[in-house]
Amino acid sequence: MRVYKYLMSRISQEGAIHLTLIDPDKVNPEEGAEIALAAERAGTAAIMVGGSIGVTEAKLDKLIVEMKRRVKIPIILFPGNITGLSRYADAVWFMSLLNSTSTYYLIEAQALGAPIVKKYGIEPIPMGYIVIEPGEAVGFIGRARPIPIKHPEIAAIYALAAQYLGMKFVYLERGSGAPGPLPPEFVEKVANMVDIPVIVGGGIKEGTVAKNLTKAGAKCIVTGTIVEEVEDVEVKIKEIVKGIREGALERMQNVQR
Ligand code: 1GP
């Protein structure tokens, strides 16, 4: 419960947090550790490590060992499959792709992964994962039936089901590298339906976008691709973290009114 409690306490203190996603297939361990360090300095709350393609345990191990030497914030696995587990991580999003048409991504991969999580002593954090169109690589690989962007009410009922199933977070995923982020109204509809924190990711590149999504109710904003594109990771993540802080502040002021 250590990482779960840490995330919840930062969310309750700050209103919303930023998580930096690093794809082990796209960086070498040194680059990954550099990005993690810059992200930590910029105020990201935790590092997520994972991807849909090309992830091996050996690659993950090397990357996470290097990161652990450099940063203090938790490293949370974001597995696309059972190869996405490493004994060196602090926690794992123990997630089910709720709108997958495949029982593998709903529960079979989780069953295969569960004894490994137990053996390695990684903290599982239960999370419902919902893919919204276009869904990008994860939508295709995960055999999702992506939720139409016009129908946030469908995402909202999946999110509520996740909460009733006991999941501690729900993740609205537009897909890594999506051409644009989720609209704030979409996030608002889901956030108004559930009591568990809503994580939002996919296509977020600007502080103003992070601000509007946070204001709409997101409690965690995930960015991945942007750190692979910019020269100064620290400056970019600072911009996004600043946006999240402003959005959280405005949301909390609206609640008090
Ligand atoms: C992917 O939501 C995350 O799972 C992050 O997406 O790479 O587009 O930032 P980006």
pLDDT grade for 205, boundaries at 50, 70 and 90: very high
Rounded to the nearest angstrom, the distance between the alpha carbon of 197 and the centre of ligand 1 is 18
For the chain, the average pLDDT equals 97
What's the whole-number mean pLDDT along residues 199-222? Answer: 98
Could you identify the atom of ligand 1 that is nearest to the CA of residue 78?
4
Ligand 1 interacting residues, C-beta cut-off 6 A = 21, 173, 176-178, 201-204, 222-226
Give me the pLDDT at residue 254, please: 85
Q: Using the predicted structure, report yes or no on whether residue 131 has a pLDDT greater than 70.
A: yes
Q: Rounded to 5 degrees, what are φ and ψ at 48? A: -105, 140
Question: ∠ CA 93-95-97 to the nearest 5 degrees?
Answer: 145
Q: Given ligand 1 and candidates 19, 20, 21, 172, which is best to mutate, with the most ligand atoms within 8 Å of its CB?
A: 21
Which residues are bridge partners to 92 per DSSP? 77, 124
pLDDT tens digit string along 141-196? Answer: 999 999 999 999 999 999 999 999 999 999 999 999 999 999 999 999 999 999 99
Could you identify the atom of ligand 1 that is nearest to the CA of residue 50?
4
Q: Using the predicted structure, report yes or no on whether residue 16 has a pLDDT greater than 70.
A: yes
Q: Given ligand 1 and candidates 81, 131, 174, 176, which is best to mutate, with the most ligand atoms within 8 Å of its CB?
A: 176
Domain of residue 123 covers: 2-256
pLDDT grade for 135, boundaries at 50, 70 and 90: very high
Q: Using CA positions, which residue lies closest to atom 1 of ligand 1?
A: 176
Cβ partners under 8 Å of residue 66, min gap 6? 29, 30, 32, 33
Is the pTM higher than 0.95? The answer reads yes
pLDDT grade for 255, boundaries at 50, 70 and 90: confident
Q: Given ligand 1 and candidates 19, 213, 225, which is best to mutate, with the most ligand atoms within 8 Å of its CB?
A: 225
Alpha-carbon distance 230 to 236, whole Å?
Answer: 7
The token duo for 35 is: 């990005």
The token duo for 85 is: 């587990």
- Tell the burial category of 148 from Cβ atoms under 10 Å away from its Cβ (0-12, 13-18, 19+): exposed
Domain count, the chain: 1
Q: Using the predicted structure, report yes or no on whether residue 82 has a pLDDT greater than 90.
A: yes
Alpha-carbon distance 217 to 51, whole Å?
Answer: 26
Residue 110 belongs to a domain with what CATH number?
A: 3.20.20.390
Q: Using the predicted structure, report yes or no on whether residue 11 has a pLDDT greater than 90.
A: yes
pLDDT tens digit string along 24-38? Answer: 999 999 999 999 999
Give me the pLDDT at residue 86, please: 98
Cβ partners under 8 Å of residue 58, min gap 6? none
Q: Using the predicted structure, report yes or no on whether residue 121 has a pLDDT greater than 90.
A: yes
What's the whole-number mean pLDDT along residues 74-92? Answer: 98
Q: Using CA positions, which residue lies closest to atom 4 of ligand 1?
A: 176
Give me the pLDDT at residue 257, please: 66
Q: Using the predicted structure, report yes or no on whether residue 48 has a pLDDT greater than 70.
A: yes
